[in-house]
Structure 1
Amino acid sequence: MILELKKYLEARLAQELPGDNAHQQMMAQPIGQRFKMQYDKPPKKGAVMIALYPDEGKIYFPLMQRPPYQGIHGGQVSLPGGKKEDSDDNLIETAIRETFEEIGVKIPDNQVIGSLSDLNVTASNFIVKPVVSILDRKPEFIKDPREVEHIFKAEVQHLIHPQTLQEKELTVAQEIRLKAPFFDIEEKVVWGATAMILSEFVEILKEHYK
């Protein structure tokens, strides 16, 4: 099962991707007054990792909930990842390094099979590259307590099930109301940039599992 998915993704990720059309499906919309964020500096570069692995006949990947803090992404669910450092030769190295730092999983270069479309995250002024890897066995997770509140797993077949996709009203930054599409994964609300990335991944997975 994991080898079939690996073969499919290696070929599919090298082709044209759904990109912005898929991202837009999971974009939160403001309720009432609209707002536009403006920045003096160009977007920073970052990367996240979708690390697929087999476990008891199913295929999963890890997600993590960040601790509550005052920053814009405090308490949210995300894929492991973060900002590109000067020591990183490229964004694949960023994703590998951040995955090890945040959840304790070391991913060899040869287990990286490609990447999804870059996502411009205007809320934090980042351009994020989602990297995809496939591991040959379930990893052991060790969370960084400063950056990770909780690690949980998403199952691929559950992710593409229509009932996983829902919508609710959220209030962020104490005053901004949003109508937010989200993925209901392990009773966690997965919305925002992570949901937009996963939306493209879902479109690609549906082609394989149809």
Structure 2
Amino acid sequence: MNRQQLITRFSLRTLTETQLKITHMPLKQSAVLLAFIEREHGLNLLLTKRSIHLRHHPGQISFPGGKHDLDDESLKATAIRETNEELGIDINDIDLFGELPFHDTITGFRIKPYLGFVDHRTNISANVGEVSDVIEVPVTSFLQNPAHFVLPIVRPNLTVNVYFKPSEGHAIWGATAAIIEQVRLLLED
């Protein structure tokens, strides 16, 4: 799959709202960037491994992004700012082309995912205070992977399907995996 195929499929499909809507507690607004990088073998999705000392989701695989700041003019601006802060990617090297529905989490966040391309020549420099590792996973590994699975987690008055998408030796799960599942549904034939 290449850049043009991804844009074409995205423009031809629409997605329903996320499977989980949290209404019993206030949610912190946040945004992430699903950053696609075109390489010789096809498209890769850029992910980060969060530093172990972080308060929220330490050591987990995630998208670049974070909590909306009052100084951000929009959630889109949040996604771009956070990507720049975490990975040093110049905002001029990010070409946004779409967005996905909000994704609420049982940990108290409402995430707005944005999709964009990052120039393959860009310098990626992880902010070690936030990111312990930068990971690129081929998009094709998310399309038909028999190792992917879903577990229902039961909480009082709520059952949540938690997605697990182990790929390329990385344990990708939770909100990140659920958002990737939205992309998989978008791209499936």
Settle same-fold status: TM greater than 0.5: yes
CA contact (8 A) 2:94 2:119 kept: no
Could you tell me which residue of structure 1 aligns to residue 44 of structure 2? Answer: 60
Moved over 6 A (4+): none
Query: What is the deviation of 1:104?
Result: 1.4
Alignment TM-score, normalising by the size of structure 1: 0.76
Q: Which one has more relative contact order, counting CA pairs under 8 Å at least 6 apart?
A: 1
Bigger radius of gyration, 1 or 2? 1
* Two-structure CA RMSD over aligned residues (Å): 2.9
Query: What is the deviation of 1:140?
Result: 2.4
Identity %: 28
* Most deviating of 50-59 and 156-165: 156-165
Query: What is the deviation of 1:154?
Result: 1.3
Q: 5+ residue gaps in structure 1?
A: 25-37, 169-177
Q: 5+ residue gaps in structure 2?
A: 152-159
2:18 maps to 1:20: yes
Aligned length: 182
- C-alpha distance 97-163 of structure 1, shift in aligned 2 (>3 A): same
Could you tell me which residue of structure 2 aligns to residue 126 of structure 1? Answer: 109
Alignment of 1:29-108 (within 5 A): 39=25, 42-69=26-53, 71-108=55-92
- C-alpha distance 167-128 of structure 1, shift in aligned 2 (>3 A): closer
Q: What are the Cα deviations for residues 100-119 of structure 1, in whole angstroms up to 9, with x where unaligned?
A: 10011124498111100101
Larger % of helix: which? Answer: 1
Alignment TM-score, normalising by the size of structure 2: 0.83
Q: What amino acid does structure 1 have at the position aligned with 2:146?
A: Q
2:147 maps to 1:149: no
CA contact (8 A) 2:50 2:58 kept: yes
Could you tell me which residue of structure 2 aligns to residue 8 of structure 1? Answer: 9
